[in-house]
Amino acid sequence: MAKTKTGDQRSRTEADSTGDSTVRPRRHGAELENALLQAAWDEVAAVGYAGLTMEGVAARAGTGKAVLYRRWPKRAELVLAAMRHHLGSITDEIPDTGDLREDVLIVLRQIKDRAEQMGPDIFHGLRMESQDLPPEAFAITPGVVMTLLTRAAERGDVRREKVTPLIASLPGILIRHELLLSGVAVSEAYLTEIVDEVLLPLVVTAGG
């Protein structure tokens, strides 16, 4: 009867799968996932999006590539997860200043700042492989703006019939378009135009 592998034997197997003879402690759960995401971020920073491979990330993390594929079947999914792990997400702390204009501007500034931190290489790499991203990746910004619009409607600042998915998607669409054109350099003036010339005229009440 075959014997069950011990923890040390499993660690040696993991190391052997990467070609590294160094025996590393067995990692599990959040510890393992954090290590994988950090390795992915470091690897894409070192070799660029086009040069990123699952094999390279696995080697940097000291594990086998199958461990990566079980969690993120596509390269774009892995990079997006690594980016969120490193830079955070706009959903981490949705602003609630009591003023729709300021709240939306804060969100757009966060998107702008994160795009600048990831740089044009990763931004355009993800765009080229956007078909490999999960649908929920494209619902994040509209979802946040919908939350802001709903709060404003509850305060009486926004017409409730204008709190729609289409209108909520407009700020994200416009900033993404400008990021593509500008190479991820978007001005504060453009963010203000999105809010003052597009979003607010569509949704504010007469008194607002």
What DSSP string runs through 66-102?
Answer: HHHHHH-SSHHHHHHHHHHHHH--TTSS----S-HHH
Query: pLDDT value at position 126?
Result: 94
CATH number of 90-203: 1.10.357
Q: What is the mean pLDDT of residues 8-28?
A: 48
Q: What is the mean pLDDT of residues 6-31?
A: 52
- Which of 123, 130, 39 lies closest to 76 in space, CA to CA? 130
Greatest Cα pair distance in the chain: 80
- Does position 101 have pLDDT exceeding 80, yes or no? yes
CATH 3.40.50.300 fits 14-86, yes or no: no
Q: Compute the half-sphere exposure of residue 175: CA atoms within 13 Å on the CB side of its CA.
A: 30
State which H helix or E strand residue 121 sits in. helix 100-128
Report the first-to-last Cα separation within the chain, whole angstroms.
Answer: 77
Domain locations in the chain? Answer: 14-86, 90-203
